[in-house]
Amino acid sequence: MEKAMVDLDAEGIFELNQPRMKVMINVELTPPSYSNTERALRLNDRSNEALIVWLDEAAEKLE
């Protein structure tokens, strides 16, 4: 699934109606784990505004 998101991102699908730096993409597992945070960091640029907010408000912390 992560590879599919990478491929879609490369095609520009996540920046059709807004700047990519304002869209955070991720593939999350349930129950939540730090692996969700690791994937978010791989799928998004560290300066992505939406990622920064997500890391602060919702990301699972390293246990």
- Output the pLDDT for position 62: 83
Q: What is the pLDDT of residues 4-63, one digit of tens each?
A: 999 999 999 999 999 999 999 999 999 999 999 999 999 999 999 999 999 999 999 886
The C-alpha atoms of residue 6 and residue 20 are separated, in whole angstroms, by 13
Question: Tell me, what DSSP letter sits at residue 13?
Answer: G
- Quickly tell me which residue has 């129950």 as its tokens: 31
Q: What's the rounded Cα separation, in Å, for the pair 33 and 46?
A: 20
Q: Where are the domains of the chain?
A: 2-57
Both structure tokens of 33: 């784990």
Name, in order, each residue with C-beta under 8 angstroms of 49's C-beta and a sequence gap of 6 or more.
21, 22
Give the DSSP letter of residue 58.
Answer: T
Give pTM, 2 decimals: 0.90
pLDDT value at residue 20: 97
Per-residue model confidence (pLDDT) at position 11 = 98
pLDDT number for residue 35: 96
